[in-house]
Structure 1
């Protein structure tokens, strides 16, 4: 089961590593989008969130204080859902639908990250570099 947990962690963090890379390599486009959502300072937010996601994803992937990495993802995902994907503010039906999908995706991933946190804390993640930062049950 340890290998299955590791495969699950790899699959889980791929989205965050790709998104972090986008934040750090397509900063201008991401900054414009962030500004359009009213988040200021936009550029610093894009770069900071890119680094935050990358660090969190690597912690989860390596099991190096994976519980901390999972909580970092929750801290990123919940504000992202409400600030960047506030579908209820959109007037265009297609845009509203796309933003609702992104909003729900962020909430679902936050839920998954909380489960990852619990699994790290319970010692059920196997093949980890360290024990959980926040201890075990």
Structure 2
């Protein structure tokens, strides 16, 4: 079971770690897009969300308070879905569909993050983690 959970954590974390890298290597382009969505302090928001995606991804990957890392990812995913993928405000059909897909992807990942939180906070015998849970359910 420990190896299966570790493989799942690796697969789950790849998205967030690669996203964090993109936030830092393509900051200006992402800040322009973020500003076009009406997000305040776009550049700072890109850098801050990149740092939190990276920390949350590393937390889950390494098993360092992975329950807290899962909660960080949950909040970021919900905020990103609502602030960046407002498909209900888009009139162009192609852009609307792209935003709807990304909105739903973020909701699904938020659900997975919530399940990971419960999993890590409930089971202290996960093995292959550096620390135990910060929360206890």
- Checking the alignment, whether the CA contact within 8 Å between 1:39 and 1:83 is kept in structure 2 is yes
Tell me the number of residue pairs that the alignment of Structure 1 and Structure 2 aligns. 136
1:52-102 deviation digits (Å, cap 9, x = unpaired): 110011011111000000000011000100000000111100000000000
Query: Which residue in 2 is equivalent to 1:65?
Result: 65
- Show the counterpart of 1:127: 128
Provide the aligned C-alpha RMSD in A.
Answer: 0.9
So what's the TM-score if we normalise by structure 1?
0.96
Once the two structures are TM-superposed, the CA of residue 125 in structure 1 deviates from its matched residue by 3.8
- What does 1:30-41 correspond to in 2, within 5 Å? 30-41=30-41
Find the residue that maps to 2:12 and give its secondary structure. helix
Contact 1:119-1:125 within 8 A present in 2 as well: no
Q: Which runs of at least 4 in structure 1 moved beyond 3 Å after TM superposition?
A: none
SS of structure 1 residue aligned to 2:128: coil
1:121 is displaced (CA, Å) by 1.2
The equivalent of 2:23 in structure 1 is 23
1:37–1:84 CA contact under 8 A, matched in 2:
yes
Instruction: Write the distance in 1 (CA, Å) between the matches of 2:49 and 2:63.
Output: 21
5 Å-filtered alignment, 1:51-90, equals 51-90=51-90
CA distance in 2, matches of 1:121, 1:98: 34
Give 5+ residue unaligned stretches, structure 2: none
Contact 1:6 1:125 in 2 (8 A): no
Gaps of 5+ in 1: none
Q: How far has the Cα of 1:37 moved from its partner?
A: 0.1
